Amino acid sequence: MRRSFSLTVVFLIPFLPVATGAEGDYTEIYDTPYNNLTVERIGSIVELRARSRAGVYLESAVDLADPLRLVVPYTRTLFAAAFLEPEPRAALMIGLGGAGFHRVFAQVYPDALLQSVELDPKVFELSQSHLGFKPTANTPVATLDGRLYVKRSKQNWDWIILDAFRSGYVPPHLKTQEFYRECAARLNPRGVFVSNLHASTRLYASDVKTIQSVFPQVVLFQTAGRVNVIAIAVKYSEPSIADHAFVSTVPQLDAKFRERVDFSKLAAERIVPPATSARSVRILTDDFSPVEFLDAMKLNNTKEH
């Protein structure tokens, strides 16, 4: 008789080595209740990828020879939050990956708290065992659903960053009006909400419209040469961030980030929001989870992003 195995047993399988090079290169595959993960090392670069039926998607990458190098381009754009709140004391990041963003944040803001929330415990484990992440008291990680963490948390944040992917797409319950309202409630009065969007998906205009329905002011930055669009939103109406002199803060920020983020280039990546007035552009809610989310899986984080 053929027997089936529980998810717990699958989760405890350590890894399947696929290939090992003479200089320490390797490819390993891990199955978890949430993902099919691939960790690949070529030279000093380690990539964490997730597989779905639509393909393999890059979750994170780290250069072990230079851990402060932001290998994945859009992670630099996430720091556009510093244009509006340059001195965060407490930040919440939903989604861990390989924690490349975290290392730069910890260097620039050594006294600030960066709380991460990661659904998949195996991702947290691999970030430490393979991608060199060393959590500290200021960079703790909770293994929990991001929305549940926001609901339970009583702390307010200067930055809330949404960069949670599961096999190439953001889970629908983390893209709705109701969830964004929960995030807004946990922001400090001058706090900044940050979300990684993708301009190439059919849901892009709805993503933007949904964020705009909660936050009075939203600006967008598109990572140069990529489909990643980083939405920066605030819950205050004045002063206008549309009129904010982003370029004027570049010298201060460039000095603080020590060339890890080029804020001159980042300021130039600001783009015009997409048209959202068409009736076909729907606000995403907990009761409206369209099948187009599957389309987002096709074009989200491909390996070159």
Residue 214 has pLDDT above 70, yes or no: yes
> What does 28-40 look like in DSSP terms, one character per residue?
EEEE-SS-EEEEE
Q: What is the pLDDT of residues 77-95, one digit of tens each?
A: 999 999 999 999 999 999 9
Residue 8 has pLDDT above 50, yes or no: no
Q: Exposed/middle/buried for 259, CB within 10 Å: 0-12, 13-18, 19+?
A: exposed
**Dist. CA 108–CA 255, nearest whole Å:** 10
User: Residue 5's pLDDT band (boundaries 50, 70, 90)?
Assistant: very low
Q: What is the pLDDT of residues 157-177, one digit of tens each?
A: 999 999 986 655 688 999 999
| Arch. (CATH architecture) of 74-290 | 3-Layer(aba) Sandwich (3.40)
Task: Report which of 72, 103, 91, 76 is spatially closest to residue 264, judged by C-alpha positions.
Answer: 76
**Dist. CA 299–CA 130, nearest whole Å:** 27
**Dist. CA 245–CA 106, nearest whole Å:** 26
Q: Report the pLDDT value the prediction gives residue 13, as an integer from 0 to 100.
A: 34
Q: Report the pLDDT value the prediction gives residue 201, as an integer from 0 to 100.
A: 85
Residue 75 has pLDDT above 70, yes or no: yes
Region of poorest pLDDT, from 87-96, 175-184, 193-202: 193-202
Spans of all domains in the chain:
74-290
**Dist. CA 73–CA 226, nearest whole Å:** 8
Q: Report the pLDDT value the prediction gives residue 293, as an integer from 0 to 100.
A: 54
**Dist. CA 31–CA 89, nearest whole Å:** 36
**Dist. CA 48–CA 56, nearest whole Å:** 10
pTM for this model (two decimals):
0.87
Query: Which H helix or E strand runs over 159?
Result: strand 157-162
Residue 22 has pLDDT above 60, yes or no: no
Peptide bond before residue 239 is cis, with ω within 30 degrees of 0: yes
Question: For residues 217 and 36, which has the higher predicted lDDT (pLDDT)?
Answer: 217
Average pLDDT score over residue span 252-269? 94
Average pLDDT score over residue span 208-223? 98
User: Residue 54's pLDDT band (boundaries 50, 70, 90)?
Assistant: low
Task: Enumerate the β-bridge partners of residue 193.
Answer: 160, 233
Q: Report the pLDDT value the prediction gives residue 12, as an integer from 0 to 100.
A: 34
Residues 53, 73 contacting (CB under 8 angstroms): no
Helix (H, G, I), strand (E, B) or coil at 143: strand
Question: For residues 293 and 146, which has the higher predicted lDDT (pLDDT)?
Answer: 146
